[in-house]
A and B are shown apart, each in its own frame.
Chain A
């Protein structure tokens, strides 16, 4: 279970303050499939980074399985990111000079999986993300936006994390591929993975069992899908 308690995030840039999150509290249980929606600049990505333990809130608490993330040591955080969390960045953040294969196997290097297993897992993850086999040895900066997106998704899935956080995972995909990806995520959710994704599209949000909407850094709605 993950829980944020009264979390605010304030950015200071050139003397100006931006309140990206404004006293948000939220609880997500294991096995939930949550979609976060909201207009651009409303604080969705900011919240995702906090949920992924990639950033700290300015005030408030973030608990993963009852543990206060702010109190964890760097190495414990690294372990958590490695074993529990798979993150799909809105900007992909692939290593530009590395091949697709290398990008996807990268998390497994830190997890210490044997060489053979790495390739198998990466191939499975890439297949689940729907990337054409002919691209596996391309450098990631030689891919289209949609292909990069699939590599970013595969990298998040490869470690079989219990919590998958995806920041607009279908933003660059056509509707057919988007639905394939969503079906994959739904299947993972059925197997027990907790999934939180950000989207702008209502038909993508429809795959989730719960939809949370954010506006100006505040929670607007929080409702169950039937």
Chain B
């Protein structure tokens, strides 16, 4: 049988029973498409989390106030206490070695007004060190300088989301915003860090910490202190120095009564990685199950047609087809089916992953490995179950195949 005839027979067989062909292809499409989409979601969220961990800074240590213990011994929750002060930050800066920056922060949400626009956003009072410690980049204008911190200057740097909320696409540098009826001059904007939701790092206003303490909160406490260690290696040393220093300053004798805690970036990364690993595993197993179900679908379609096809094989042999002719024909059919289904499945899975990214704001990342694995599994299943029953039938005597029930 010539190649042209082989293709023509395959085309005839596939178009001759459109429902069977469509269902088989559908099984392959669902199997492959879902694997690709799910793995893309898993890998996408892993990448997104890794990115946002890198975005919070490098070699970062964060000191937060511990839970404040009231008279009755009730706890108001971690970070709620006003136990960290500007003096603690200054002490860390002057005594702890091997740091490349210390940035105390005082953060609170305020209603902000500018030229008739309004937004509720997070206002962070801090120092210029914050830029290096927290990996923030300036897009336009400048950040405030140490001298502006000393002079309680009323200047502000806006995050990109806040800029959009207040000014749309216009450049806000030189404009004035009002926070609690106090005018601040906008002197710069920051580059987007990415991220969404309630803790959007781009929806923010930076002002000097002294200004925040004097005009907004009234008091010298800070909400947290970020410290960058010089290298990854000295991180635990720096963490120990900070803990010792603050223990001494706060007169803490046992860690159980500590009114602060020091978190290091590796802990945050570790926790996040194990969460995404679980997520990826979950998605991968769901995908594995769909591939399995898809595979069973393919197998089923291939096997159910065997009765009808066995008679056809008997007839073809009776009129002179060799075993090779039969094998090649059925192999070709199975390859065509899995190839068409595979191509559609890859296309749809890819499109679904892109659509999720575009319209549902789910971060996705197409994985070539998952495409290859999904394609390979359905191809192997399709070809084995399309080919072997046919091969077996081709080894029967024509008359036995013709009588097959």
Select the stretch in B102-110, B369-377, B397-405 that faces chain A: B397-405
B282 within 8 A of A: no
Are B322 and A87 in contact (CB-based, < 8 A)?
no
Tell me if A75 and B312 are in contact (CB < 8 A): no
Among candidates B323, B397, B400, B402, residue contacting A75 with C-beta atoms closer than 8 Å: B323
- Contact yes or no, A110 B1, CB < 8 A: yes
> With an 8 A cutoff between CB atoms, is B230 at the interface?
no
CB of B315 within 8 A of CB of A52, answer: no
A169 at the interface (CB under 8 A from B): no
CB distance from A69 to the nearest CB of B (A): 11
A111 at the interface (CB under 8 A from B): yes
CB of B196 closer than 8 Å to a CB of A: no
- Chain A residues with CB under 8 A of B17: 97
In Å, the complex CA distance between A112 and B5 comes to 9
User: Do A111 and B320 touch across chains, with their CB atoms under 8 A apart?
Assistant: yes
Best-surrounded residue of B17, B316, B322, B402 (most CB of chain A within 10 A): B322
Question: Which of under 10, 10 to 19, 20 to 34, or 35 or more describes the interface residues of A?
Answer: 20 to 34
- Residues 285-331 of B at the A interface (beta carbon under 8 Å): 311-312, 314-325
Q: Is the CB of A81 within 8 A of B397?
A: no
CA distance A79 to B2 in the complex (A): 16
Any B CB within 8 A of the CB of A44: no
A112 to B399, CA, bound (A): 24
Chain B residues lying within 8 Å of A95, measured Cβ to Cβ, are 312, 315
- Find out whether the CB atom of A109 lies under 8 angstroms from the CB atom of B5: yes
Q: Which of B378-405 contact A (CB under 8 A)?
A: 395, 397-400, 402
Q: Which residues of chain B (1-39) have a CB below 8 Å from chain A?
A: 1-2, 5, 9, 12, 16-17
Residues of B within 8 A of A75 (CB): 322-324
Query: Could you say which of B312, B319, B397, B400 contacts A110, with CB atoms under 8 Å apart?
Result: B319
- Which residue from A56, A102, A106, A112 sits with its C-beta under 8 Å from B319? A106
A10 on interface, CB distance cutoff 8 Å: no
In contact, B318 and A93 (Cβ under 8 angstroms) = yes
Interface centre among A78, A89, A102, by most chain B C-beta atoms within 10 angstroms, is A78
Over the window 53-76 of chain A, the binary record of Cβ atoms lying under 8 Å from chain B Cβ atoms (1 yes, 0 no) is 011100000000000000000110
Are A78 and B317 CB-contacts (below 8 A) given A93-B311, A97-B17, A109-B9? Answer: yes
A83 proximal to B (CB < 8 A)? yes
B16 x A79 contact (CB < 8 A) = no
Task: List residues of chain A with CB within 8 A of the CB of B5.
Answer: 109
Q: State how many angstroms separate the Cβ of A34 from the closest Cβ of chain B.
A: 20
Q: List 15 A-B contacts (CB under 8 A).
A: A49-B399, A54-B318, A54-B397, A75-B324, A78-B320, A81-B318, A82-B321, A83-B320, A87-B318, A87-B319, A107-B319, A107-B320, A110-B1, A110-B316, A159-B320
| Closest A-B pairs by Cβ, 3 of them | A82-B320, A78-B322, A55-B399
The chain A residues found within 8 Å of chain B, CB to CB, are: 49, 52, 54-56, 74-75, 78-79, 81-83, 87, 89, 93, 95, 97-98, 102, 106-107, 109-112, 155, 159
